Amino acid sequence: MNLNEQQRRAYLEAIGIDVWLPRGETDEEVDVQDETAAIATDDLDWLALRAAVSACTRCTLHETRTQTVFGVGDPNADWMFIGEAPGAEEDRRGEPFVGRSGKLLDQMLAAVGQSRQSVFIANIIKCRPPHNRDPAPEEASSCRAYLERQIALVNPRIIVAVGKIAAQNLLGTDAPVGRMRGKRHSVGNVPLVVTYHPAYLLRSPSQKRKSWEDLCLARSIVREAQA
């Protein structure tokens, strides 16, 4: 396997091997290079990106995480679902959308002929915020390059932003979900649809029909792209 220098450093850091820089570099130069390595993800393949996320210390969430939650599913999926952040169970298992919310998401996927294995599921941030609080803006910003690289690698036909935090971060807005859903948005050249988070739907089951409408909109966009 041929690795460039950035990929090599990501692998070594992920398995706990110190990365030494050539003698003569100043502390300031080391800091600048480390920061660049953390955010320059354009050349990373899936394996190197996963290693970089696993070793990430760009924000304070690494101090309290059990493990990072990278994402699951088909790396070549037409559908990509993006939530906000891992919860306690996700932090323990290393997989997004598990527990009751995950089961409801699985049912939502099945309703449009998809499954956890046929889509790709990720979060805005890869570490659990303490007490399941909302991610801070600087935490989301620290993780943004990783998410953007995941989107680029998957190259989906549709992104479904699941919940307020995910949608607001992806679209750069503070609008409520009710105002964002039902429309076709985009991230770069990828169409995006906003829907409610499964946790919200468990508390407000009367809104499930609206989420079904959102998924139908997403499905129509995918079919349009496939035509």
Query: Does 34 have pLDDT greater than 60?
Result: no
Tell me the two tokens of residue 58.
């760009």
How far is Cα 171 from Cα 186, in angstroms, rounded to an integer?
8
Do 80 and 143 share a domain, yes or no? yes
pLDDT of residue 227: 84
Tell me the two tokens of residue 215.
């998924």
| Domain boundary residue, one of 30, 55, 80 | 55
Query: Does 120 have pLDDT greater than 70?
Result: yes
Do 124 and 219 share a domain, yes or no? yes
Query: Number of structural domains, the chain?
Result: 2
| Domain boundary residue, one of 26, 55, 84 | 55
Query: How does residue 33 score in pLDDT terms, banded at 50, 70 and 90?
Result: very low
Tell me the two tokens of residue 196.
């409610």
The C-alpha torsion from 75 through 78 and 83 to 88, rounded to 10°, is: -40
Strand ranges (DSSP E) for 114-177? 120-123, 158-162
Tell me the two tokens of residue 169.
């971060």
| Residue-range definition of the domain harbouring residue 15 | 1-55
Do 134 and 192 share a domain, yes or no? yes
In sequence order, the 6+-apart residues with CB closer than 8 A to the CB of 138 are 59
Do 45 and 80 share a domain, yes or no? no
| pLDDT tens per residue across span 38-86 | 467 888 999 999 999 999 999 999 999 999 999 999 999 999 999 999 9
Do 173 and 75 share a domain, yes or no? yes
Query: Does 36 have pLDDT greater than 50?
Result: no
Q: For residue 110, what is the enclosing H or E element?
A: helix 99-111
**Please, are residues 99 and 76 in contact by the beta-carbon 8 Å criterion?**
no
Beta bridge partner(s), residue 120: 73, 80
pLDDT of residue 41: 85
Angle between helices 137-154 and 46-54 (to 10 degrees): 160
SS3 72: strand
Look at 2-11, 63-72, 119-128, 183-192 and tell me which has the smallest mean pLDDT: 2-11
In sequence order, the 6+-apart residues with CB closer than 8 A to the CB of 198 are 97, 100, 101, 102, 104, 105, 108, 162
Provide mean pLDDT across the span 181-192: 96
| pLDDT tens per residue across span 209-218 | 999 999 999 9
Residue 134 is assigned to a structural domain of this protein: yes
Q: For residue 82, what is the enclosing H or E element?
A: strand 79-83
Query: How does residue 35 score in pLDDT terms, banded at 50, 70 and 90?
Result: very low
**Please, are residues 54 and 70 in contact by the beta-carbon 8 Å criterion?**
yes
Provide mean pLDDT across the span 189-206: 96
How far is Cα 217 from Cα 158, in angstroms, rounded to an integer?
10
Residue 63 is assigned to a structural domain of this protein: no
pLDDT of residue 13: 56
Residue 61 is assigned to a structural domain of this protein: no
